[in-house]
Amino acid sequence: MYALVDAVAFYASAEKVFDPAIRSKPVVVLTNNDGCICAVCPIARKLAIPKFQPYFQVKKILEDNQVVIRSSNYELYADLSERMMNVIGRFCDNQHIYSIDESFLNFTGFKKLIHDWHRYGHDIRRTVWRETKLPVGVGFGPTATLAKAANHAAKKLPGFDGVAVIDSEASRVAILKAMDVQDVWGVGRRLAKKLKVMNINTAFDLAEQDPRKMKRLFSIVLERTVNELRGKSCLAWDEVRQDKKEIFSTRSFGERITDATALKTALINHCVIVARKLRAQGSHTQRLLMFVASSPHQDGYYKKSYIYEFSVATADSCVFANAISEVFDHLYKPGVRFYKCGVGALELSSQMFQQPDLFQTPIDNPKLMKCLDSINSRYGVGTLAIASETPTTRWHMKRAYLSPHYTTRWHNLPKIHC
DNA sequence: TCTGGGGTCCTAGGACCC
DNA sequence: TCTGGGGTCCTAGGACCC
């Protein structure tokens, strides 16, 4: 049995934790740079406020409905996420954190025999609320995809109070029949459109298809999904939590930038993040992609990328930074108003199997990186940084509606007025 | 006069997720 | 005046080689 536990409109709920005054109000949270709406609380959802709509396009609707607006406060969300995951993790010793607000629990071989999954689910919900003031939904199912489907039912279908269980053929059929095919994990807008032309409208319709036929018509990904919906586990536990095959760090700027130094510093910051994530999963790369771009929404769209090939696979921040300095002139173009840039490591391989170069002295310094990582993990990321990371010019993120970092900065501690 | 295979690698863009 | 997220994986199609 699997469970999927996730928070209801996590970012919006997180904003309400330390600000009870807005708990009964409609709240939305914006993406980086206040670009789009990325979280809509249940109260705001009733006002039909669309997710992932550019903010400036719905400004009027938000004002008219007196919706509370918040900029993304990742420092707060990351901290609350960690607390929430710790509480959830107490309910199963095999937990896989899938995203900032979702975690799968695998009860295969669980030490405790659970007779009543409903009750167990409500236990989780109650405990998470009591200890973190975050509302969660819980779904149980014999495969990860069915647990996801149950979780969807728990939160969206009437008659479920935040917990849904698929533990019989009857419950599987009932929940899948009530679920639009587009809400299935792995089926997006485009795929749903094609499926609906074939008269496959609900999750149940999809589950009734021949998996091999779906593979032939669409992809191996959909074949797996169909099998999972039929109760056959295809996303093996260790596959759900497989190492990443590529790792990116990209970001748009709060304001357009034209300055070469600022752009270069931004790229170096991204490559440092990528390098850190690579080391964290024990991977390294021989190919590093770097790109810069102007706004695709405006005329004269400029986009340039470069793939740097190292002679030996590495995850060394300094080596990455040097690579960027080396090829930066190929990317930068004076006069362009840069909107976005990023760095990605492609074709990752395991650090356990490094193939050194016979004729060259090593280009990287794993000991130095290990030292850097342990200092930063102890005293916080950024405590120790490479010199070229430090911004000489400010490029800030636009966050006009930022809430305080209640839990991570002393001067942001919530104050209680008596 | 016209036609013709098979494999690998690369890349941009598509699709999906949160 | 101007504004449009971030991350990962897959695949079709082009280029090139023999």
pLDDT tens by residue, A380-409: 888 999 988 877 666 778 999 999 999 989
Dihedral sign, Cα of residue A209, residue A211, residue A212, residue A214:
positive
Dihedral sign, Cα of residue A178, residue A204, residue A162, residue A134:
negative
Name beta bridge partners: A141: A2
CA–CA distance, A258 with A292 (Å, rounded to integer): 11
Shortest-distance nucleotide from A38 CA to C1': C5
CA–CA distance, A83 with A332 (Å, rounded to integer): 42
| Residue whose structure tokens are 């093996």 | A236
pLDDT tens-digit series, residues A160-200: 999 999 999 999 999 999 999 999 999 999 999 999 999 99
Grade residue A233 by pLDDT with cuts at 50, 70 and 90: confident
How much is the pTM? 0.91
Chain C, protein-covered positions (CB within 7 A): 2-11
CA–CA distance, A151 with A374 (Å, rounded to integer): 38
pLDDT at A240 over 80: no
Q: Among A163-167, A206-210, A231-235, A356-360, which is the least confidently predicted range?
A: A356-360
CA–CA distance, A136 with A366 (Å, rounded to integer): 41
pLDDT at A307 over 70: yes
Residues contacting nucleic strand C by the 7 Å CB criterion are A 31-33, 35-36, 38, 52, 54-56, 219-221, 242, 244-252, 277, 295, 297-298, 339-340, 342, 344
| Residue whose structure tokens are 């409609």 | A26
Long-range contacts of A204-213 (CB under 8 A, 24+ apart): A204/A173, A204/A176, A204/A177, A204/A179, A205/A181, A206/A181, A207/A176
A186 touches strand B (CB under 7 A): yes
Name beta bridge partners: A39: A29
Largest separation between any pair of C-alpha atoms in chain A? 72
A148 touches strand B (CB under 7 A): yes
A218 CA, C1 C1': Å apart:
46
Q: What is the mean pLDDT of chain A?
A: 92
Rounded mean pLDDT of A108-115? 86
More confident site: A395 or A365: A365
The pLDDT score that the predictor gives to residue A145 is 95
CA–CA distance, A68 with A77 (Å, rounded to integer): 17
The pLDDT score that the predictor gives to residue A236 is 67
Grade residue A238 by pLDDT with cuts at 50, 70 and 90: low
The pLDDT score that the predictor gives to residue A393 is 65
A309 CA, C17 C1': Å apart:
22
More confident site: A16 or A49: A16
Q: Number of helices (H) and strands (E), helices first, in chain A? A: 15, 12
Shortest-distance nucleotide from A344 CA to C1': C7
CA–CA distance, A415 with A418 (Å, rounded to integer): 10
Q: Among A67-71, A128-132, A387-391, which is the least confidently predicted range?
A: A387-391
CA–CA distance, A34 with A254 (Å, rounded to integer): 9
The pLDDT score that the predictor gives to residue A357 is 77
A100 touches strand B (CB under 7 A): yes
Q: Among A95-99, A235-239, A311-315, which is the least confidently predicted range?
A: A235-239
Structure tokens at A369: 């990186």
Q: What percent of chain A has pLDDT over 70?
A: 98
Name beta bridge partners: A96: A104
A221 CA, C10 C1': Å apart:
9
The pLDDT score that the predictor gives to residue A237 is 66
Grade residue A148 by pLDDT with cuts at 50, 70 and 90: very high
A212 CA, B5 C1': Å apart:
29
Rounded mean pLDDT of A56-73? 94
Chain B, protein-covered positions (CB within 7 A): 11-12, 14-18
Query: Which of A311, A325, A315 is CA-nearest to residue A265?
Result: A325
CA–CA distance, A233 with A229 (Å, rounded to integer): 9
φ, ψ of residue A368 in degrees (nearest 5) = -65, -40
The pLDDT score that the predictor gives to residue A125 is 97
pLDDT at A220 over 90: no
Rounded mean pLDDT of A249-256? 92
pLDDT tens-digit series, residues A1-21: 999 999 999 999 999 999 999
For A373, the enclosing helix (H) or strand (E) is: helix A366-379
The pLDDT score that the predictor gives to residue A181 is 96
A 10 A CB-CB count for A345 gives: 27
Grade residue A239 by pLDDT with cuts at 50, 70 and 90: low
The number of CA neighbours under 13 Å toward the Cβ of A358 is 0
A52 touches strand B (CB under 7 A): yes
- What is the per-residue burial (b if ≥16 Cβ within 10 Å, else e) of A236-272? eeeeeeeeeeebbbebbbbeebeebebbbbbbbbbbb
CA–CA distance, A348 with A241 (Å, rounded to integer): 16
Q: Among A32-36, A95-99, A239-243, A378-382, which is the least confidently predicted range?
A: A239-243
Shortest-distance nucleotide from A101 CA to C1': B18
The pLDDT score that the predictor gives to residue A368 is 96
For A304, the enclosing helix (H) or strand (E) is: strand A303-314
Residue A367, SS3 per DSSP: helix
Grade residue A292 by pLDDT with cuts at 50, 70 and 90: very high
A237 CA, B13 C1': Å apart:
30
Shortest-distance nucleotide from A191 CA to C1': B15
Residue A311 CA to chain centroid, in angstroms?
32
